[in-house]
Amino acid sequence: MDHEVEKRAAGYKAASLIRDGMIVGLGTGSTAAYFIEALVQRIRQGLHIRAVASSRASAELARKGNIHVVDLNDVPKVDITVDGADEIDPLKRMIKGGGGAHVREKILAYASRELIVIVDETKCVSSLGKANLPVEILFFGSPSARFHLEERGYTGQWRTASDGSLFITENGNLLFDLHFDHPIKDPKEEHLKILQVPGVVDTGLFFDIAGRVIVGLADGSTKLL
Ligand code: A5P
């Protein structure tokens, strides 16, 4: 358990911004879990909301706490989505997908009026690229997709589950985690280059989408970027 005080502070602060009647997007991961925990407490105190989850794990957490979970296809628009990040730079560009849910997280973020990002300070970086960059890839022809990525100069490995088997996303696909031995100079260019490989569903790079960023601090306070 790492930086729990900071993650909790960010999650609880984000939950305090949710208002009655909102449709709320639930991110995935340990920081988003604190947001859901805080939301459950607010619901016990009388808050009425509906929520859309980016993963089974988040949906389960929410349902356990009596949050009314609905399908993204059944709502016109999500008011606020709150989600974590693996890295965020000063331009609010991010690497996400450490939890393997970045494709749904991105769809949910784009379906939302605002994406609020909640992080601890270790996630705030001057440039992206220390964290692995997850790329979701269709199982069909996945060795060929890997070949074409490697031919373009990328290195990485298939993500595995705790039992050593291949990690399968909730969309039924594989994850190829790219590592960079240098900061990513132009994340948008890399993203577009990777997307050109047939079979690639999406990368964990996010741009032009983060709204408020809440950073949790070690003393339990938060700062807003
Ligand atoms: C989940 O797929 C990710 O995008 C998470 O948002 C990201 O990995 C941050 O997770 P933590 O809050 O657990 O660090």
Torsion of CA 182, 128, 204, 146, to 10 degrees: 0
Is the whole-model pTM more than 0.85? yes
- Ligand 1 centroid, distance to 100 Cα (angstroms): 8
Q: Which residues are catalytic?
A: 105
Secondary structure letter of residue 208 according to DSSP:
S
Task: Out of 31, 107, 177, give the residue to mutate to test ligand 1, the one with the largest number of ligand atoms within 8 Å of its CB.
Answer: 31
pLDDT tens by residue, 189-206 = 999 999 999 999 999 999
Q: 155 by DSSP, 3-state: which?
A: strand
Task: Out of 96, 115, 171, give the residue to mutate to test ligand 1, the one with the largest number of ligand atoms within 8 Å of its CB.
Answer: 96
Taking 80 as the threshold, does the pLDDT of residue 171 lie above it?
yes
CA distance 160 to 202: 18
